[in-house]
């Protein structure tokens, strides 16, 4: 479905960040293209839809070989709390809104953001299947779904990818979700591959055990002269058929992240890293 092993997460342009202008956005997308990144990942609720609008304006009608993914199924209450709403009516409305903001007639990959606690996942998946039939969606993904919900949804319509939080620091997905995806032939997408900035030096460790682990990773990175973030991404890319989607708003960081696809870690390094943060 995608030709590269690394995508670009666009969340950093909304939510807790200052929304960048279109020129900065376009520059980052061009850097991604130059570095072989062909997947751009966003969500309809980032900055109230402004991230999708900016992405649509930056790409225009001609997508230039990019695969664009977005998420649907989250709305906000009157007090601003996120609520999973995967009802067929809401998904249909959300999809149409994303199409308008992205300036396209078909979304390459549409994620179900979460399983609605108020109705069976089969109902949500039935509507997404209808949207595929209508030509509004090419592929369906699920975001953080349990293995049970993944199997139930997959029986209604083939799920192309399962997105899970997965990094050298957070490996819980190895225990069940990734196994279930592999059994079904569903691809895996790793979001927050740098452990929400921890493996990029963006935030401090919160425990002595975590601090010791980060120091061990820093030591391995220093010996290889590649930087901790690139080491963490290279380790993840070596895990198999996983699409890694780090997010950044910095073109230089994007280039460094992309260069991790060229790093080949030997088995000894990977074994030592595996022991630093076991699942």
- CA–chain centroid gap for 144, Å, is 10
Assigned token pair, 141: 């993904």
pLDDT over 90, % of the chain: 64
Instruction: Tell me what the pLDDT averaged over the chain comes to.
Output: 89
CA angle in degrees (0–180, nearest 5) for 193-195-198: 130
pLDDT given for residue 254 in this prediction: 92
In 104-257, which ranges are E strands?
Answer: 107-112, 137-143, 161-165, 187-191, 242-245
Task: State the Cα torsion 189-192-198-202 to the nearest 10°.
Answer: 130
Region 212-227 average pLDDT? 90
Residue listed under structure tokens 């109902």: 123
Q: Which fold has domain 7-197+236-249?
A: TIM Barrel (3.20.20)
The larger pLDDT score, comparing residue 18 to residue 66, is at: 66
Region 96-110 average pLDDT? 95
Least confident of 8-22, 122-136, 231-245: 8-22
205 pLDDT exceeds 50? yes
Q: For the chain, which residues make up each domain, given as ranges?
A: 7-197+236-249
C-alpha closest to that of 95 among 81, 105, 83? 105
In angstroms, the CA 51 to CA 2 distance is 22
pLDDT given for residue 18 in this prediction: 44
| pLDDT band, residue 1 (cuts 50/70/90) | very low
| pLDDT band, residue 202 (cuts 50/70/90) | confident
The string of pLDDT tens digits covering residues 78-94 is 887 889 999 999 999 99
The larger pLDDT score, comparing residue 236 to residue 18, is at: 236
The most confident of 22-31, 69-78, 130-139, 190-199, by mean pLDDT: 130-139
pLDDT over 70, % of the chain: 94
46 is catalytic: yes
pLDDT given for residue 222 in this prediction: 92
At 176 the three-state DSSP class reads coil
Catalytic, out of 13, 46, 143, 170: 46
The string of pLDDT tens digits covering residues 169-182 is 999 999 999 999 99
């Amino acid at each position: 479905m995608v030709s590269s092993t690394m995508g670009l997460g666009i969340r950093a342009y909304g939510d807790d960040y200052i929304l960048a202008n279109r020129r900065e956005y376009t520059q980052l997308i061009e850097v991604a293209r130059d570095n072989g990144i062909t997947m751009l990942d966003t969500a309809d609720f980032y900055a109230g839809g402004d991230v999708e609008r900016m992405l649509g304006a930056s790409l225009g009608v001609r997508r230039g070989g990019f695969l664009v993914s977005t998420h649907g199924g989250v709305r906000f209450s009157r007090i601003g709390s996120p609520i999973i709403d995967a009802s067929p009516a809401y998904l249909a409305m959300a999809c149409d809104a994303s199409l308008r903001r992205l300036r396209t007639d078909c979304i390459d990959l549409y994620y179900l953001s979460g399983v609605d606690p108020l109705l069976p996942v089969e109902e949500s998946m039935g509507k997404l299947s209808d949207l595929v039939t209508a030509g509004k969606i090419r592929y369906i993904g699920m975001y953080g779904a349990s293995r049970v919900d993944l199997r139930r949804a997959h029986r209604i319509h083939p799920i192309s990818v399962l997105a899970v939080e997965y990094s050298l620091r957070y490996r819980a997905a190895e225990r069940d979700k990734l196994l279930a995806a592999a059994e079904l032939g569903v691809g895996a997408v790793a979001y927050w591959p740098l452990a929400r900035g921890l493996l990029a030096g963006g935030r401090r460790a919160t425990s002595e055990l975590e601090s010791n682990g980060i120091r061990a990773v820093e030591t391995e990175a220093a010996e290889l002269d590649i930087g901790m973030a690139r080491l963490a991404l290279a380790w993840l890319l070596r895990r198999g058929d996983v699409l890694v989607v780090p997010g950044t708003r910095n073109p230089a960081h994007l280039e460094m992240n992309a260069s991790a696809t060229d790093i080949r870690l030997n088995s000894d390094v990977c074994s030592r890293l595996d022991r630093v943060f076991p699942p």
